[in-house]
Chains A and B, each alone.
Chain A
Amino acid sequence: MSGATSTSRSRFDSGPGNAMNKLQSAQEAIASLESGMTIGIGGWGPRRKPMALVREILRSDLDDLTVVSYGGADVGMLCASGKIRKLVFAFVSLDFIPLEPYFRKARQNGDIEIMEIDEGMLLLGLRAAAMGSPFIPTRVGLGTDVLTRNTGIKMIRSPYDDARVWVAMPALNLDAALVHVDRADERGVCQIKGPDHYMDDLFIRAARRTVVSCDELVATEYFHDNAEESRYVFWERSATTAVVHTPCGAHPSSCNPLYGIDVEHFNTYAASAREEDGWQRYVDEFVAGGEEDYLNKVGGVAQIKSLPAPVY
Chain B
Amino acid sequence: MLVDLLITACSRAWDDDGEVLASGIGVVQRLGASLAMHKNPDLMMTDSEAYMVSEPVPIGPRDGYEPQRETWMGFSRIFDNVWSGKRHALVGPTQIDRFGQANISAIGDYDRPKIQMLGVRGFPGNSISHANSFFVPNHSKRVFVDGEVDMVASVGYNPDRVAEGWKLDDIDIRIIVTNLCVMDFRGPDHQARLVSLHPGIEVDQVVENTGFELCIPPDVAETPQPTSDELKLIAQYDPHELRASAVK
Contact = CB atoms under 8 A, between A and B. Distances in A.
Contacts of B156: 143
A157 B47 CA distance: 39
Interface in A255-312: 311-312
A79 B60 CA distance: 32
Contact of B163 (A71, A90, A99, A164): A164
B51 A195 contact: yes
Chain A CB within 10 Å — which of B79, B118, B161 has the most? B118
B49 A144 contact: no
Nearest to B62: A311
A120 B75 CA distance: 10
Interface in B177-224: none
Contacts of B110: 145, 149
A202 to B, nearest CB: 8
A108 B113 contact: yes
A196 B165 CA distance: 37
B118 A91 contact: yes
Contact of A140 (B62, B111, B124): B124
A120 B171 CA distance: 18
B16 interface: no
A99 B49 contact: no
Given A143-B158, A196-B50, A120 B79 contact: yes
B114 A118 contact: no
A145 B104 CA distance: 12
A141 B119 contact: no
A64 B47 CA distance: 39
B105 A44 contact: no
B76 interface: yes
A227 interface: no
Contacts of B118: 91-93, 98-99
B163 A143 contact: yes
Contact of B117 (A99, A157, A197): A99
Interface stretch (B6-14, B31-39, B133-141, B146-154): B146-154
B145 interface: no
A103 interface: yes
Contacts of B75: 44, 119, 196, 198-199
B74 A118 contact: no
A89 B119 contact: yes
A142 B163 contact: yes
Interface of B: 47-51, 60-62, 74-76, 79, 82-83, 105-106, 110-125, 127-129, 151-156, 158, 161-166, 171
8 contacts: A44-B75, A91-B118, A91-B120, A121-B124, A140-B125, A141-B128, A143-B127, A158-B165
Given A98-B118, A142-B124, 13 more contacts: A90-B122, A91-B120, A91-B121, A108-B112, A108-B116, A109-B112, A116-B119, A118-B120, A120-B125, A142-B128, A144-B155, A164-B165, A312-B47
What are the 8 closest A-B residue pairs judged by CB atoms, nearest first?
A: A164-B165, A143-B155, A195-B50, A110-B112, A91-B119, A312-B48, A107-B116, A118-B124
